[in-house]
Chain A
Amino acid sequence: MADGIPTWEEVARDHGRFLYTVAYRLAGNDDDAQDLVQEALLKVRRGLERYEPGSLEGWLARIVTNVFLDDMRRRKRRPTSALPDDPDRVVPPAPAADVASRELPVHLQEALAALPEDFRVPVVLCDVADQSYEQIASTLGVPVGTVRSRIHRGRRLLRTTLTEGAA
């Protein structure tokens, strides 16, 4: 590592697990996660000379998220599921009647993968990549208020999916 800038090999070796975890939580399966990681590492290698020492994992999360969103845009040309037209208009459901049941099913990853990407991405960046709302807003190019809303609604939708799946 020179001047605080890691080599590509150091990034892959020391932060590969973080990169793969974020990619996997975004994509929901190994095949797509591997594609995302490969593409992200290619961008990392090309972009290392312009990397300014700071939050390396924040930078990596941003890269892999952009790769994921690019991929999603390409896939939308052949959509497989109906997504809400305006994710910010999705109204979260009322609290479940049986709120005493706090145990989440083991299918959390499946529920996360089923979450519309407009909610999944900020939730993953917040709860998996541990990014601040400001970092997420910068990555996604949306206001912090939008991030706040989508994270909350994403968590609510996730909870609903899990409780309905368990019923």
Chain B
Amino acid sequence: MSEHELTEDLLSAYLDDELAASERAEVEARLAASTEWQAILDEVRATRGALRGLPAVDGPPEFWARVMAGDPVPDATGRAASDQVIDLGAERRRRRMPRWAVAAAGAAAAAVIVVGVVAVPQRDRVRPAVAVLSNEHAARSSVGNDVISSLASIAVPTKLGR
């Protein structure tokens, strides 16, 4: 590394042990020659030490009780998920019905409609057909000249086809 590339940004990396050996040697040489760099290093070291000395923070017990009792978030579907943990595309594909299933569902729906329109009304017809029966009865009565029969009610049992 040349001299002009030696910036003070390296001082934090020096404290964090994030420098290559050659960089480290250059920083140490610069520190030995520069009181300004020494002052900056002292400041950064103090700040770094204070930050690292900050205590861990516990959330309120009631918060953790809620979290541990159930879902961390009851319904977060409206929230954005931008990290790599949740693959929203995969999630959508998982939820999406495959094409063959869509076609099968469509066919099933059409079958239900056909049954509803054609089959169900047939079940509700009166058996035997009242009009046909009435006509046959009238014809038989007119041929036989039987007065009683012509006055009789149609005594054929009927039922609803349910």
Query: CB distance A155 to B44 under 8 Å?
Result: yes
Check B83–A133 contact: CB distance below 8 A: no
Digitize B52-85: 1 where CB-to-A-CB distance is under 8 Å, 0 elsewhere: 1010111110011001100111001001111111
How many chain-A residues does the 8 Å CB contact rule pick out? 56
- Would B63 and A46 count as touching, CB distance under 8 A? no
Interface size on B, residues (CB 8 A): 42
- B46 in the interface (beta carbon within 8 A): yes
The reply to whether B10 and A128 contact each other, CB–CB distance below 8 Å, is: no
Contact with B along A51-82 (1 / 0, CB 8 A): 00000000000110011011000100000000
B56 touches A21 (CB 8 A): yes
**Are the CB atoms of A38 and B64 closer together than 8 Å?**
no
Is chain A's binding surface mostly helix, strand, loop or mixed? helix
Is B138 part of the contact surface with A, judged by Cβ < 8 Å? Answer: no
- A63 — which chain B residues lie within 8 A by C-beta? 83, 85
Provide the A18-55 mask, 1 if CB < 8 A to any CB of B, else 0: 10110011000010011001110111111100100000
Residues of chain B touching chain A, judged by Cβ–Cβ distance below 8 Å, are 8-13, 16, 18, 36, 39-40, 42-44, 46-48, 50-52, 54, 56-60, 63-64, 67-68, 71-73, 76, 79-86
> A residues near B, CB below 8 A?
9, 12-13, 16-18, 20-21, 24-25, 30, 33-34, 37-39, 41-47, 50, 62-63, 66-67, 69-70, 74, 92, 95-96, 99, 102, 104, 108-109, 112, 123, 126-128, 132-133, 148-149, 151-153, 155-156, 158-159, 162
